[in-house]
Amino acid sequence: MKISEIASIIGAKFNGEEFEVTGMNTLKSASKTELSFVSNSKYISDIKNSQARVIIVDAKTEKYVPTDSIALVVESPYWEMAKLSKYFAPCIEDDNLPEPKIGEGSKVSPRAEIANGATIGKNCTIMAHVYIGANVTIGDNTILYPSVCIYRDCKVGSDCIIHANSTIGSDGFGFATSKQGEHKKIYQNGNVVIEDDVEIGSSTAIDRAAFGTTLIKQGVRIDNLVQVGHNCVIGEYSVLVSQAGIAGSTIMGRNVVMGGQSAISGHLEVAAFTTMAARSGVTKSIKESGLTFAGFPLMEHRLWLKLQAKLARLVK
């Protein structure tokens, strides 16, 4: 997309030489031909290390943009980024991609839909009413039960099992909101990567990243009706019990256990070998590994037991 078009769409001034912007990304991940944005003053410190060629900012933030990057100045960078995200979204299906490749020994139901550009490994079982989108890759020996839906550009490893009616790669819950309270969709142009030996239950939802990847690492076990928000990283061998939910951009270490109906807020870190009892609610990062928590607000499990004993006495 041409820089002049971009400036025009978002109503920013641009008088420099024309060039092609190849994509949109976060300050940290943007390449030298990409565009980024600063939506919040807490990210100002990321500007100087960003490689982004173009940065959308408000007037107050313009001064932090290094001289070798181009600042496009607007009133509401987040809103304008949302507006632009649509232009960088790939089409849902792309008939120009090559026919799907199916590995030896794989059984693909004639009632499954495999989009062009998809690649399925060896000895997979792809059951009826499965949807596999454009450019999706699936490893070897993986089983997709009926009505599993995998959106375009996602990757599923080898030896995985995904149960019926689960969705991999639906759009993360992202939008900008105007002062009048109207919402504008932020197109979710990232993907989901599921590594090897992962099992996912039925009617679970794993959202694609806004930028980059939502990552489910090797050996993870996810139960039914679990929500994994965009840009999360679920550490190796972690276990997410039924109806657990994780908001966006939270990063877990390995062997984290989330009990049933537990939840973690967005943008947190959870140390390896953390255990959360059923219905825990995590709102702050957990730095020390190997501990067991419970409650909402969260506390160490032994404290929670003590608190509940005290509360029980209140009504005796």
Q: Tell me: cis bond preceding 297? Omega within 30 of 0 counts.
A: yes
How far is residue 204's CA from residue 58's CA, in Å, rounded to a whole number?
39
* Residue type, position 250, single letter: T
156 SS3 class = strand
Radius of gyration of the chain (CA): 22
Side-chain half-sphere CA neighbours of 240 within 13 A: 32
Catalytic residues: 230
How far is residue 294's CA from residue 299's CA, in Å, rounded to a whole number?
6
Per CB under 8 A, which of residues 99..138 are in contact with a second copy? Answer: 107, 109, 111, 113, 125, 127-129, 131
Q: Single out the residue of 116, 111, 143 nearest to residue 128, CA to CA.
A: 111
**With binding defined as CB under 8 A, does residue 173 bind a second copy?**
yes
Contact range with a second copy by CB under 8 A, out of 23-31, 52-60, 64-72, 164-172:
164-172
| Choice between 44 and 239, CB closer to a second copy | 239
How far is residue 38's CA from residue 65's CA, in Å, rounded to a whole number?
10
* Distances in whole angstroms, Cα of residue 63 to Cα of each of 45, 59, 75, 194, 203: 12, 8, 15, 41, 48
State the binding string over 235-274 for a second copy (x if CB under 8 A, else -).
--x-x-xxx-x-x------xx----xx-x-x-------x-
* Residue type, position 211, single letter: F
How far is residue 174's CA from residue 304's CA, in Å, rounded to a whole number?
34
Per CB under 8 A, which of residues 43..72 are in contact with a second copy? Answer: none
Side-chain half-sphere CA neighbours of 246 within 13 A: 36
* Residue type, position 300, single letter: E
State the binding string over 136-155 for a second copy (x if CB under 8 A, else -).
-------x-xxx-x-x----
Per CB under 8 A, which of residues 72..101 are in contact with a second copy? Answer: 92-93
Query: 229, 244 in Cβ contact below 8 A?
Result: no
| Choice between 155 and 184, CB closer to a second copy | 184
Per CB under 8 A, which of residues 187..246 are in contact with a second copy? Answer: 199, 201-205, 207, 219, 221, 223-225, 227, 229, 237, 239, 241-243, 245
| Choice between 76 and 147, CB closer to a second copy | 147
- Angle, vertex CA 107, rays to CA 106 and CA 110, nearest 5: 135
CB-based burial label for 192 (10 Å; 0-12, 13-18, 19+): buried
Per CB under 8 A, which of residues 274..303 are in contact with a second copy? Answer: 278-279, 281, 296-297, 299, 303
Q: Which two tokens stand for residue 99?
A: 């026919």
**With binding defined as CB under 8 A, does residue 179 bind a second copy?**
no
| Choice between 46 and 199, CB closer to a second copy | 199
